[in-house]
Structure 1
Amino acid sequence: MIELKDVCVRAPDVSKRVLIDQLNVTLRRGEITMLLGCTGSGKTTLLQTIAGLKMPESGDIQLAGGSMWIDGKVPRSMLLPTSLVFQFPEQQLFARHIKREFQYSLRPYRLNEIEQERYIEETLAHWDPPRGADLERRFQLDRSPFALSGGEKRRLGLALGQVTKPEWLLLDEPSAGLEAQSVTLLLESLHKHRAGGGGVVIATHDLDTFLPHADRVLLLQEGRLVADITPKALHNQPELLVKAGIGLPPSMRLAEQLRAVGVQISSPAMTPEEMAESIIQSREDITSVSFIKERENERIVQANGEPTWSSDSVAPTSDETLGPMLPNSGSKNRDSAATSRSSSSGLYTMMDPRLKWVLYMLLVTAIMLQHRWGGLSLTLIPVIGALAVLPRQILIGCIKLLKPLLIFFLLSTALSGSTLTTGESGFQVGFSLTQAEGTLLNLYRLFIVTLASIWFSLTTPYGRMVEGLNWVLAYGQKIRLPVASFALAVSLVFRFIPMLWAEWQRFSLIVRARGKAALKPNSVRIRDLGPMVIPLLMALFQRAEDMTIAMEMRKIRENNVLGTRSSLLVWSRRDTRIGMAGLLLFAVLVSMRHW
Structure 2
Amino acid sequence: MIELNNICIRASDESKRILLDDISLTLNRGEITLLLGCTGSGKTTLLQTIAGLRPPDSGDIRLAGESMWRNGRVPKSMLLQAGLVFQFPEQQLFARNIRRELLYSLRPYRLNEAEQQQQIAETLAHWDPDRGEGKERRFQLDSSPFALSGGEKRRLGLALGTVTQPNWLLLDEPSAGLEAQSGRLLLDALLDHREAGGGAVIAAHDLDTFLPHADRVLLLRLGRVAADLTPQQLHNQPKLLMQAGIGLPPSMQLAEQLRGAGINFISTAMTPEDMAEAIISSQSCGEERTFVPAEVEDVNKPDADHDSEKNKNKDKDTITTEIDRSLLSGPANAASTTSFGDVPLPLVSDPALQARKDSKHKSSNESVMDPRLKWVLYMLLVTAAMLQQHWGGLTLTLIPVTIALGVLPRQKLMGCIKLMKPLLLFFVLSTLLSGSTLTTGEAGFQLGFSLTQAEGTILNLYRLFIVTLASLWFSLTTPYGRMVEGLNWVLSYGQKIRLPITSFALAVSLIFRFIPLLWSEWQRFSLIVRARGKAALKPNSVRIRDLGPMVIPLLMALFQRAEDMTIAMEMRKVRENAAFGVRSSLLAWSRRDTRIGIMGLFVFALLVSVRWWGSR
TM-score (normalizing by structure 1): 0.90
Which 5+ residue runs of structure 2 have no aligned equivalent? 292-296, 307-327, 329-348
Partner-residue secondary structure (3-state), 1:137: coil
Flag the 1:309–1:101 CA change in 2: closer, same or farther, 3 A.
closer
Deviation of 1:559 (Å) = 2.1
Deviation of 1:282 (Å) = 3.1
Separation in 2, partners of 1:233, 1:76: 38
Q: Are positions 1:408 and 2:426 aligned together?
A: yes
Give the aligned residue type for 2:73.
K
Q: Are positions 1:499 and 2:495 aligned together?
A: no
Deviation of 1:430 (Å) = 2.7
Partner-residue secondary structure (3-state), 1:559: coil
What's the counterpart of residue 279 of structure 2? Answer: 279
273-282 vs 176-185, greater mean Cα deviation:
273-282
Partner-residue secondary structure (3-state), 2:13: coil
Separation in 2, partners of 1:135, 1:538: 31
Separation in 1, partners of 2:382, 2:398: 11
Partner-residue secondary structure (3-state), 2:497: coil
Q: Are positions 1:258 and 2:276 aligned together?
A: no
Separation in 1, partners of 2:512, 2:476: 9
Give the aligned residue type for 1:236.
N
Separation in 2, partners of 1:254, 1:550: 41
* 2:391 aligned to which of 370, 373, 376: 373
* Equivalent pair of 1:508/1:532 in contact (CA under 8 Å): yes
What's the counterpart of residue 435 of structure 2? Answer: 417
Flag the 1:393–1:402 CA change in 2: closer, same or farther, 3 A.
same
Cα distance per residue 1:1-42 (max 9 Å; x no partner):
000000001111111111000100100000000000000000
Deviation of 1:448 (Å) = 1.1
Flag the 1:3–1:136 CA change in 2: closer, same or farther, 3 A.
same
* Equivalent pair of 1:38/1:221 in contact (CA under 8 Å): yes
What's the counterpart of residue 466 of structure 2? Answer: 448
Cα distance per residue 1:158-217 (max 9 Å; x no partner):
000011100000000000000000000000000000000000000000001100010000
Separation in 1, partners of 2:579, 2:484: 9
Deviation of 1:284 (Å) = 3.8
* 1:563 aligned to which of 578, 581, 590: 581
The equivalences for 1:466-485 within 5 A come to 466-485=484-503
Partner-residue secondary structure (3-state), 2:535: coil
Partner-residue secondary structure (3-state), 1:419: strand
The equivalences for 1:311-390 within 5 A come to 346=364, 350-390=368-408
Separation in 2, partners of 1:113, 1:156: 21
Partner-residue secondary structure (3-state), 1:60: strand
Flag the 1:562–1:115 CA change in 2: closer, same or farther, 3 A.
same
Partner-residue secondary structure (3-state), 1:178: coil
Deviation of 1:240 (Å) = 0.5
* Equivalent pair of 2:216/2:230 in contact (CA under 8 Å): yes
Deviation of 1:132 (Å) = 2.8
* Equivalent pair of 1:33/1:200 in contact (CA under 8 Å): yes
* Equivalent pair of 1:32/1:200 in contact (CA under 8 Å): yes
What's the counterpart of residue 562 of structure 2? Answer: 544
What's the counterpart of residue 489 of structure 1? Answer: 507
What's the counterpart of residue 453 of structure 2? Answer: 435
Q: Are positions 1:196 and 2:196 aligned together?
A: yes
* Equivalent pair of 1:264/1:282 in contact (CA under 8 Å): no
Q: Are positions 1:215 and 2:215 aligned together?
A: yes
Deviation of 1:420 (Å) = 2.7
* Equivalent pair of 2:502/2:574 in contact (CA under 8 Å): no
Deviation of 1:269 (Å) = 1.1
Separation in 1, partners of 2:436, 2:365: 46
* Equivalent pair of 1:508/1:524 in contact (CA under 8 Å): yes
The equivalences for 1:152-167 within 5 A come to 152-167=152-167
Partner-residue secondary structure (3-state), 1:8: strand
* Equivalent pair of 2:529/2:549 in contact (CA under 8 Å): yes
* Equivalent pair of 2:483/2:509 in contact (CA under 8 Å): yes
* Equivalent pair of 1:15/1:344 in contact (CA under 8 Å): no
What's the counterpart of residue 85 of structure 1? Answer: 85
Separation in 2, partners of 1:344, 1:14: 13
Give the aligned residue type for 1:506.
R
* Equivalent pair of 1:420/1:429 in contact (CA under 8 Å): yes
What's the counterpart of residue 116 of structure 1? Answer: 116
Partner-residue secondary structure (3-state), 1:377: helix
What's the counterpart of residue 56 of structure 1? Answer: 56
* 2:591 aligned to which of 573, 582, 586: 573
Which 5+ residue runs of structure 1 have no aligned equivalent? 292-296, 298-307, 314-331
Deviation of 1:348 (Å) = 10
Give the aligned residue type for 1:229.
L
Separation in 1, partners of 2:552, 2:367: 33
TM-score (normalizing by structure 2): 0.87
Flag the 1:420–1:220 CA change in 2: closer, same or farther, 3 A.
same
Flag the 1:392–1:244 CA change in 2: closer, same or farther, 3 A.
same
369-378 vs 227-236, greater mean Cα deviation:
369-378
Deviation of 1:384 (Å) = 1.5
Separation in 1, partners of 2:367, 2:109: 45
Give the aligned residue type for 2:71.
D
Deviation of 1:79 (Å) = 0.4
Give the aligned residue type for 1:186.
L
Q: Are positions 1:229 and 2:251 aligned together?
A: no
Q: CA RMSD in A?
A: 2.5
Separation in 2, partners of 1:349, 1:15: 13
What's the counterpart of residue 326 of structure 1? Answer: none
* Equivalent pair of 1:470/1:561 in contact (CA under 8 Å): no
Cα distance per residue 1:536-583 (max 9 Å; x no partner):
000000111111111112211122263333111111111101111111
Percentage of pairs with the same residue: 75
* Equivalent pair of 2:438/2:445 in contact (CA under 8 Å): yes
Cα distance per residue 1:429-450 (max 9 Å; x no partner):
3322112121111111111111
* 1:554 aligned to which of 572, 577, 582: 572
What's the counterpart of residue 475 of structure 2? Answer: 457
Partner-residue secondary structure (3-state), 1:24: strand
Separation in 2, partners of 1:562, 1:309: 75
Partner-residue secondary structure (3-state), 1:558: coil
Separation in 2, partners of 1:265, 1:434: 90
Q: Are positions 1:392 and 2:410 aligned together?
A: yes
What's the counterpart of residue 323 of structure 2? Answer: none
Flag the 1:41–1:561 CA change in 2: closer, same or farther, 3 A.
farther
Separation in 2, partners of 1:26, 1:280: 39
Q: Are positions 1:586 and 2:586 aligned together?
A: no
